[in-house]
């Protein structure tokens, strides 16, 4: 149980933030070439479609991060928001939370 009553849109945004983060974790590692010209992870299975999907997800992740961080709810708190942000994290992860 939380000491805070989070607005539904803030909880929704944080839940989606976790879902997008999870999807990004599932992507194979992106191949790259270092300064010496050596290719790394060339056999990772990376495709142009994965590149497009990752770009879309990273954009959404940034949008959600901004939406959460500037939500008007934070202005209603007295003092530090750290405890409230941790409570939001827990509430968003809780089933049915």
Q: What does the pLDDT read at residue 14? A: 98
- R_g of the chain computed on alpha carbons: 18
Express as a percent the part of the chain with pLDDT over 90. Answer: 80
Residue 7 · residue 71 · CB < 8 Å: yes
Buried b (16+ CB within 10 A) or exposed e, 20-51: beeeeeebeeeeeeeeeeeeeeeeeebeeeee
Residue 1 pLDDT exceeds 60 = no
Phi, psi values for residue 54, rounded to 5°: -65, -40
Residue 96 pLDDT exceeds 80 = no
Q: pLDDT tens digit string along 34-81?
A: 999 999 998 888 999 999 999 999 999 999 999 999 999 999 998 789
* 33 DSSP β-pair partners: 39
Which burial class, exposed, middle or buried, applies to 11 when counting CB atoms under 10 A from its CB (0-12, 13-18, 19+)?
middle
- Domain map (residue ranges) of the chain: 8-93
């Amino acid at each position: 149980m939380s000491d805070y009553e989070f607005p539904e849109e803030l909880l929704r945004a944080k839940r989606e933030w976790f879902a997008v983060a999870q999807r990004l974790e599932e992507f194979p590692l992106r191949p790259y070439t270092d300064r010496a010209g050596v290719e790394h992870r060339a056999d990772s299975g990376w495709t142009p479609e994965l590149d497009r999907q990752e770009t879309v997800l990273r954009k959404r992740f940034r949008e959600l991060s901004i939406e959460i961080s500037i939500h008007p709810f934070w202005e209603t708190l007295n003092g530090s928001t750290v405890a409230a942000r941790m409570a939001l994290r827990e509430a968003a992860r809780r089933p049915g939370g």
